[in-house]
Amino acid sequence: MQNNDPEMITSSKNQHVQHIRELLAKRSAREEHGAFIVEGVRLCEEAMRSGIPPRMVFYSDTCSTRGLELVQQAGTAGSKVLFVKHDILDALSDTETAQGLLMVMQTHPLPMPRTLDFVLVIDQVRDPGNLGTILRSAVAAGVQAVFCTPGSVDAWSPKVIRSAMGAHFYVPIVSKSWDEITVMCKQQKKPLITYLAESADGTPLWEADLKSPIALVIGGEADGASAEVKAGVDVLINIPMPGGFESLNAAVAASIILFEVVRQRSA
């Protein structure tokens, strides 16, 4: 570790503690500072694998051996390391079971591939657990980039970060307007066809051609995609449901469609 005697925090009024509280609670603070919080050993391991050192690392005497190894790695990489009384760090934790380890990471989207042919668009998805699960599925399915339109939950909020289980470190996640997204789709060497998943309308999923370059749009849980998006997509698709149920959870629907893309392209 660069500093063998890290700064010790013993007061909940410490400026760094206040900074963490702000990043955990406010989207505006995360956007202003270009930073977000990861907690716990598993997520902090994924953060360290990203190759971008944390801005700051906070740990307590309840941190595990695995966690302390990450603290050491971060300090060596140049991160500011701070030791915090465990009761203060536990009170800051946004998780049910605090692990004595928290990192402040830079909100730094991964480089965008030069050529895009499989992207995901999130529109009006407001449940952080759903968005996190969708991001996990997107990474597993090989999505090249995720675009989030205004009106969706903040992709860098603590609950989304936890639900995504490290997906943020494997795929570019960028906020863009629908107009910007459609321009980006059309400007590709092979323009992307925009597909919107709808509960009833459109082409049955199994009949849609998903081998061509596509931008898959997933709308919100309650009302689906915005009117602007519905009016602007190229193709509507739906998941056949012989059981007759009205609709699926947004994350479940997204996962089914993403892996139908994988199936078709692997055939």
End of a domain among 72, 106, 140? 106
Write down the pLDDT at residue 4. Answer: 57
Say if 225 falls within a structural domain. yes
Host domain of residue 57? 7-106
Three-class SS state of 71 = helix
Listing from the earlier edge strand, what are the strands of the sheet with 7-9? 7-9, 80-84, 56-59, 101-106, 35-39
* pLDDT tens-digit series, residues 79-121: 999 999 999 999 998 777 789 999 999 998 789 999 999 999 9
- What's the total number of domains in the chain? 2
Instruction: Looking at the structure, tell me whether residues 131 and 102 fall in a common domain.
Output: no
Q: Return d(Cα 109, Cα 36) in angstroms, integer.
A: 12
Q: Which of 220, 106, 228 is nearest to 168 (CA)?
A: 106
Say if 111 falls within a structural domain. no
- Strands 56-59 and 101-106 come out as antiparallel
Instruction: Looking at the structure, tell me whether residues 253 and 161 fall in a common domain.
Output: yes
Average pLDDT over residues 188-193: 96
Q: Return d(Cα 174, Cα 109) in angstroms, integer.
A: 7
Say if 2 falls within a structural domain. no
Inform me whether the pLDDT recorded for 146 exceeds 60.
Answer: yes
CATH of the domain at 31: 3.30.1330.30
pTM for the structure as a whole:
0.93
* pLDDT tens-digit series, residues 19-76: 999 999 999 999 999 999 999 999 999 999 999 999 999 999 999 999 999 999 999 9
Sign of the Cα torsion 256, 261, 266, 267 reads positive
End of a domain among 77, 106, 135? 106
141's CB contacts (< 8 A; 6+ apart) are 258, 259, 261, 262
Write down the pLDDT at residue 267. Answer: 83
User: Are the C-beta atoms of residues 133 and 125 closer than 8 Å to each other?
Assistant: no
* pLDDT tens-digit series, residues 194-241: 999 986 778 999 999 999 999 999 999 888 999 999 999 999 999 998
Element (H, E) at 164: helix 158-164
Instruction: Looking at the structure, tell me whether residues 99 and 136 fall in a common domain.
Output: no
Burial 205-243 (b: 16+ CB within 10 A, else e): beebebeebbbbbbbbbeebbbeebbebbeebbbbeeee
Instruction: Looking at the structure, tell me whether residues 84 and 132 fall in a common domain.
Output: no
